[in-house]
Structure 1
Amino acid sequence: MTHALQIQNLAVTYEKQPVLEGVNFNIPEGTLTGIIGPNGAGKSTLIKAILHLIPRLSGDVTVYGKPYKKQRSLIGYVPQRSEVDWDFPTNALDVVLMGRYGHIGWIKRPGKKEVNFAYECLDKVGMKDFAHRQISQLSGGQQQRVFLARALAQDSQIYFMDEPFAGVDAATEKAIMKLLQEWKQQGKTVLVVHHDLQTVRDYFDHCLLLNKTPIECGPTETVFTLNNLEKTYGGAISFLGNGPALVQEG
């Protein structure tokens, strides 16, 4: 089994308080991994620490057997919408073109080839007609689709997505999952911070259950169990319909 990502002894503190500690896990290549846990569990912090967006107290990140810094070009990232300045004066096409800078460099201006590719990415997520629309004028679902198009333009091997389904309409959620499945079929690896316990089994073939430290990490069918969820959330879990739902937090 090829590991796309290996995390060893990762720890993060904030104002001397531990946020993450003892984080060790491996992610196999070509999997869709849901990062699952309660609010405050450190899910977004984990992604940012892996990507060197925040300082780590300790820990090693290996991508395809090599240190992260040597493999940075293989990584794509879709942040939470709440962390983006949507009033920044730029349009959808320019946002998507930002995804090409890892390939062409920050100094060189995108040429016709890159612009055409950006249009193709927007078209794939149903946003080509909005290419020249200011991002501040787009709805939440449309903004998320633009970020998906930028991720497509990055043409990465490993993607990190922080709550991509938050606040989007059903059509956008379906579009996101279609894209994630396509990436999986292409052998790409995707890690997604996710909150809806009801859809975990349908969306992900791999799970990381996290609450400041990993509870379990592995195939969804073996890891996503009632016992593990109760350990993760510290509260009672009830099965509703086809999946579990949190009854109360401890």
Structure 2
Amino acid sequence: MEQAALKVENLTIAYHKKPVVEDVSFQVPEGNLIGIIGPNGAGKSTLIKGILELVPKLSGDITIKGSTYKSMRKSIGYVPQRESVDWDFPTNALDVVMMGRYGHLGWLKRPGKAERQKAMECLDKVGMVEYANRQISQLSGGQQQRIFLARALAQEADIYFMDEPFVGVDAATEKAIIQLLMELKEKGKTVLVVHHDLSTVKEYFDWTMLLNKKVMKIGPTEEVFIPEYLQETYGGRLAILSDTQAGLLLK
């Protein structure tokens, strides 16, 4: 493998002394869409937050394109779970997207015409220009998710982390999001996505990580996303899949 976009070594994260992510090690190549899947409570969101230093880790080393997270922070985009955001915060859609430019500006310099134009371009990419001046609390769930995706695009990052971006959105928004993720990949960007819908994994992702507190398997989706490894990851909970999902898994 060439220089990894992301390399994680022996990462352990615990809440109240109970490991949630345990001795996780993996690396992923640049320019891929990577799905992180696993049962509820598997540590998927915690893994991303640990990599981004949003939660403390007990142990582990993380390098992004061969450098530390701190030195690469401006090159990293993050879309959190929608429910973790305070949507009552008094700001409009355009201001949220312009926040994605602060890493380029520095905190002391105010965004100007160029940043506003860039933010509007990103809103246009997600079909939200007409909502630029709308308060974020007045937007639907799908619209809010598009705004946060536009903010990530405004960062012009090299590697993106997205925590369940498809949850609570309509089919049109999901289609728009995956199209944007494909475009990012075509530009050589690396995108890691926490994902829960097993029926779309083969369609969406080049690589798949199966996670259940530990990395069960990681690699090209066609090699990893197979019933044997899924059963190891989900255990008896795999039986609750719908017939449609099960059929797709077995193809």
Cα offset, 1:106, TM superposition: 1.2
**Do structure 1's residue 191 and structure 2's residue 192 form an aligned pair?**
yes
Cα offset, 1:33, TM superposition: 0.3
Superimposed CA distance per residue, residues 205-229 of structure 1 (whole angstroms, 9 cap, x where no aligned partner)? 1011000000001000101110000
Secondary structure of the residue that 2:98 maps to in structure 1? helix
Secondary structure of the residue that 2:166 maps to in structure 1? coil
2:99 and 2:151 in contact (8 A); partners too: yes
Higher helix share goes to which structure?
Answer: 2
2:225 and 2:249 in contact (8 A); partners too: no
Superimposed CA distance per residue, residues 49-90 of structure 1 (whole angstroms, 9 cap, x where no aligned partner)? 000000000000001111211111111000000000000000
Superimposed CA distance per residue, residues 8-35 of structure 1 (whole angstroms, 9 cap, x where no aligned partner)? 0000111111111110000110010000
Q: Which residue of 2 aligns with 1:75?
A: 76
2:77 and 2:160 in contact (8 A); partners too: yes
Cα offset, 1:240, TM superposition: 2.9
**Do structure 1's residue 35 and structure 2's residue 36 form an aligned pair?**
yes
Cα offset, 1:244, TM superposition: 2.9
Alignment gaps of 5+ in structure 1: 246-250
Task: Give the one of 230, 240, 246 matched to 2:244.
Answer: 240
Cα distance in 2 between the residues matched to 1:204 and 1:224: 10
Cα distance in 1 between the residues matched to 2:52 and 2:118: 26
Secondary structure of the residue that 2:21 maps to in structure 1? strand
Q: Which residue of 1 aligns with 2:164?
A: 163
Secondary structure of the residue that 1:132 maps to in structure 2? coil
- Aligned residue type for 1:51: L
Q: What percent identity do the matched residue pairs reach?
A: 66
Q: Which residue of 2 aligns with 1:231?
A: 232
Q: Which residue of 2 aligns with 1:9?
A: 10
Secondary structure of the residue that 1:99 maps to in structure 2? helix
- Aligned residue type for 1:185: E
Cα offset, 1:2, TM superposition: 3.0
The within-5 A match list for 1:85-164 is: 85-164=86-165
Superimposed CA distance per residue, residues 118-146 of structure 1 (whole angstroms, 9 cap, x where no aligned partner)? 01110111000000000000000000010
Q: Which residue of 2 aligns with 1:219?
A: 220
Moved more, 217-226 or 230-239: 230-239
Cα distance in 2 between the residues matched to 1:154 and 1:71: 12
Cα distance in 1 between the residues matched to 2:88 and 2:66: 40
**TM-score, normalised by the number of residues in structure 1:** 0.96
Moved more, 63-72 or 146-155: 63-72
The within-5 A match list for 1:43-54 is: 43-54=44-55
Count of residue pairs the alignment pairs up: 245
Cα distance in 1 between the residues matched to 2:10 and 2:249: 30
Superimposed CA distance per residue, residues 137-164 of structure 1 (whole angstroms, 9 cap, x where no aligned partner)? 0000000010111011000000000000
Cα distance in 2 between the residues matched to 1:116 and 1:145: 17
Secondary structure of the residue that 1:3 maps to in structure 2? coil
Secondary structure of the residue that 1:151 maps to in structure 2? helix
Alignment gaps of 5+ in structure 2: none
Secondary structure of the residue that 1:240 maps to in structure 2? helix
**TM-score, normalised by the number of residues in structure 2:** 0.95
**Deviation beyond 6 Å, 4+ runs, structure 1:** none
